[in-house]
Amino acid sequence: MVDTTNRGTGEGTTAPTDQLIIVSGLSGSGKTVALRTLEDLGYYCVDNLPAALMPAFVQAISQGGGGLQHKLAVGVDVRNRAENLNRLPEILAELARSDVGYHLVFLDTRDEVLIKRYSETRRRHPLSGDGLGLAEAIAEERRLLKPMLAIADRIVDTSNLNVHQLRRLVITEMGLAAGAMTLLFESFAYRRGVPTDADFVFDARCLPNPHWDAQLRPLSGKDAPVREWLEAKPEVAQFSGDLRGFLTTWLPRFESDGRSYVTICIGCTGGRHRSVYLAEQLAEHFRQRYTQVLTYHREME
């Protein structure tokens, strides 16, 4: 079960008038995933921005035009100086006086899960350079981030979420996306298993495989030589066209049924050539119909 809490300036689960999304939380809780998802949704994102510079940042981007002032996101975490974190309520009050709406999201994770994640990824904790062990560093980080936690509009426990589930949460349950249905086209390798959150799964292993061309093998389906190779195969064009036709027919049914998020997964043997190419092609096609279309290439992340 996902533990989410709303409080502070946020009302309910949405923040439709907010100009600024602030993502904070513990190191290893998923802040990078959240910011990348917001970037996919069209937000202008800056990670590790000194909190004291937040008003100047918002003002500078707002003066740039292009509508960016309504889709900004910043990551603020323990890498900030302690005095900046302690001053955050004052900084946010300054934003409010300037009529800047904001929504502060804090990602939390249980200590034992964080320790396991650091062990699996072999990453260094930002505070480990102070001579602290991992458990001590996490405890110190919790202490330093108390000012952020105290004023968060939403607290999300990511202990039981994988990358896909967190992306979905940012887009839907956290209410940071507009009301239209969001499509995610995901490529994957069958040898690593089918994504558990797929709504549709299509198998591209029947198509010609660029892997057997030594010059194409190190490339991916996003590279021009691979695209040209696949586009020269009539069966690839037919397969892609059939998928477009199927989804064009049935996605509106999901939309009319109130669905806010649909994941379309395309798999091949290695998850780098055919599936990536098809996911990109389908995403490009459906961006003509849907405003929120994302791609995720599992084996390339």
CA torsion sign for 77, 78, 79, 84 is positive
Annotated binding site: which residue ranges? 25-32, 77-80
Site of tokens 């279309």: 293
pLDDT at site 3? 46
Residues at the binding site for GTP are 77-80
Please report the domains of the chain, with CATH numbers, ordered by start residue: 3-171 (3.40.50.300), 182-300 (no CATH)
Q: Would you give per-residue pLDDT tens digits along the chain (301 residues)?
A: 344 454 444 433 333 345 788 999 999 999 999 998 888 877 888 998 888 888 888 888 776 555 444 688 899 888 877 777 888 888 888 888 887 888 899 999 999 999 998 888 778 888 877 677 888 989 988 998 888 888 898 899 999 988 878 887 887 666 555 557 889 999 999 999 998 889 999 999 999 999 999 999 999 999 999 999 999 999 999 999 999 999 999 999 998 887 878 999 999 999 999 999 999 999 999 999 998 898 999 998 7
Which pTM value belongs to this model?
0.64
Q: Annotate 27-49 with b (16+ C-beta within 10 A) or e (fewer).
A: bbbbbebbbbbbebbebbbbbeb
**Residue set of the binding site for ATP:** 25-32
Alpha-carbon span 221 to 277, nearest angstrom: 4
